[in-house]
């Protein structure tokens, strides 16, 4: 989903079935890596146990609409994660709120709020 107030977007992954509650203790920022060079950086990662969703928020500096995104999860080597293998999620950047991932200046976001 594109943030309407900044050059940022959030990708949400739904896990079915939900992950074990111990996943909430993972420092996701050290376990998720971005495999594609899309001029975007991860600013926040969060796994919500109740919704079974992993949310990754990115800030971007270039037009991104329809570009590929690849994220890898490398589990910690400690128990209970030591039996898991690295998983990769591949997707194409499109938004669910019909906003393109265009690059806008801070002034443009300010004017948009006024309107």
Question: Per residue of the chain (115 residues), what is the pLDDT tens digit?
Answer: 888 888 888 888 887 777 777 777 778 888 888 887 788 888 888 888 888 888 889 898 888 878 888 888 888 888 777 787 888 888 888 777 767 777 777 777 776 666 5
| Location of structure tokens 């996701």 | 28
Res 111: pLDDT: 63
The SS3 call for residue 28 is: helix
Q: List beta partners, residue 72.
A: 33, 88
Q: What does the alpha-carbon distance between residue 77 and residue 87 come to, in Å, rounded to a whole number?
A: 14
In the chain, what are the domains? 8-114 (2.60.40)
14 phi and psi, to 5 degrees? -100, 125
Q: List beta partners, residue 54.
A: 13, 47
Q: What is the pTM of this model?
A: 0.73
- Percent helix, strand, coil in the chain, to 5, is 15, 35, 50
């Amino acid at each position: 989903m594109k943030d309407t107030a900044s050059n940022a977007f959030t990708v949400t992954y739904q896990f079915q079935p939900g992950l074990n509650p111990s996943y909430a203790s993972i420092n996701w920022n050290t376990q998720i890596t971005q495999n594609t060079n899309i001029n975007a950086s991860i600013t926040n990662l969060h796994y919500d146990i109740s919704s079974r969703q992993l949310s990754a928020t990115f800030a971007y500096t270039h037009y991104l609409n329809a570009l590929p995104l690849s994220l890898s999860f490398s589990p910690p080597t400690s128990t209970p994660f030591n039996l898991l293998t690295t998983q990769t999620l591949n997707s194409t950047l499109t938004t669910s709120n019909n906003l393109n991932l265009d690059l806008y200046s801070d002034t443009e976001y300010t004017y948009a709020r006024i309107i």
